Structure 1
Amino acid sequence: MSWEESTKNKMLNLHLPTDPRWVDIASMNLEDILVDHAYCEQKAASSCISLILRFPDLDELVDVLTPVVAEEWAHFERVMEQIRKRGYNFGFPRKDVYVVKLYEFVRKGGSRMDQLTEHLLMNALIEARSCERFKLLWKNIPDQELQQFYYELMISEAGHYVNFLDLARKYQDPEKVNKRWQEWLTFEGEVLKGVEVRSDRMH
């Protein structure tokens, strides 16, 4: 099965689409969106590094996530390039309420593989939502350069999403992973209902 077919079969399964107002607000507040996006890419790279450091004995995990770290950091550099060329200021990070709420859903305790599964599924969910947001920007943002930029990042995030799900199913019973994945999807939909639509947040 090709990568495109594999991704299509798994994407995106999100229970709630992004509020259509978000892309209009984002388009009018590019500086805030780009700054928050840059920090999101930093956090994505850091999350993969953390998994590698916590599970260095899992060879496939290390081999799969190492290039993801490089890709996420390259995305950060590309977002910074967009920020600088537009004369924007980088600024300080903003609290990511969406991710904070997802962390609250992570099950504590259990086996080492249970903990790995939780973090892989949370990362997969964040990548899925990011992919959906990038698609909205690609389709709707007036800036043609950013249209292409977000199209390319959408494709990359889709690949990362698949990586996290595949790793979860490798190191844990796939049926158990699938059941927990549905719980994550349901929870994320509820989180999205309660998160304010803001001009300065990617999520």
Structure 2
Amino acid sequence: MLRLQLPTDPRWVDVAKMSLEEILVDHAYCEQKAASSCISLIIKFPEYERMVDVLVPVVAEEWAHFESVMEQIRKRGYKFGFPRKDEYVVQLQGFVRKGGSRTDQLTEHLLMNALIEARSCERFKILWKNLADEELKQFYHELMISEAGHYVNFIQLAKSYNDPGKVDQRWAEWLAFEKGVMEHLAIRGDRMH
């Protein structure tokens, strides 16, 4: 369903399990950024009413995820640290096409967000399948389902505002680009992406 062209390196989960505190802190910031990204789309493209209506509850859901991750951090006696530069997202942002119509600009941002949600969904599935902590396994299972829904929202919105064939073509380009990003990112246990 996600169509990611390169699965996460299997070694990532082993490294992540050894630095669970770091993963949870990075995950909390990812959820905060996801909420902020949706807010940014709403502010930047307010004339796209259906998009606004779809994303308003996503903002609330992403913020609820942030609160849930914070609860997991506190429950385990971990410390909430400073945000980290998300090299994965920075590289994706560099692939966003500039210019074109407002609809084309919106499509670019929707596809970038869809890709981030897809990769997060994949990572959550890996954590769900591989963590020993039963509570965290269930936690990541629920988040995996939610992220899959957000991914679908972004793709459907893009296709509702732009030619579906054009969206599919550009989505294929995004997927190919993301594969290249993943091939060159270091495997780090302190990063969700």
Report the TM-score when normalising by structure 2.
Answer: 0.99
CA distance in 2, matches of 1:56, 1:186: 30
Deviation of residue 57 (structure 1)?
Answer: 1.5
CA distance in 1, matches of 2:123, 2:189: 13
Secondary structure of residue in 1 paired with 2:79: coil
2:70 aligned partner, one-letter code: M
Aligned to 1:85: 75
Give the length in aligned residue pairs.
193
Aligned to 1:8: none
Find the partner of 2:157 among 135, 155, 167: 167
Aligned to 1:124: 114
Deviation of residue 129 (structure 1)?
Answer: 0.3
Deviation of residue 54 (structure 1)?
Answer: 1.1
CA distance in 2, matches of 1:97, 1:159: 24
1:61 aligned partner, one-letter code: M
Deviation of residue 24 (structure 1)?
Answer: 0.8
Deviations 1:107-151 (A, max 9, x none): 011111110000000000000000000000000011111000000
Aligned to 1:180: 170
Deviation of residue 59 (structure 1)?
Answer: 1.3
Structure 2, unmatched stretches of 5+, are: none
CA distance in 2, matches of 1:136, 1:195: 18
Aligned to 2:97: 107
1:30-45 superposed matches below 5 A: 30-45=20-35
Aligned to 1:76: 66
Deviation of residue 79 (structure 1)?
Answer: 0.1
CA RMSD of aligned residues (A): 0.5
Report the TM-score when normalising by structure 1.
Answer: 0.94
Secondary structure of residue in 1 paired with 2:84: coil
Deviation of residue 167 (structure 1)?
Answer: 0.2
2:90 aligned partner, one-letter code: V
CA distance in 1, matches of 2:92, 2:52: 24
Aligned to 1:3: none
CA distance in 2, matches of 1:174, 1:126: 20
Deviation of residue 162 (structure 1)?
Answer: 0.2
CA distance in 1, matches of 2:148, 2:27: 16
Structure 1, unmatched stretches of 5+, are: 1-10
CA distance in 1, matches of 2:79, 2:60: 24
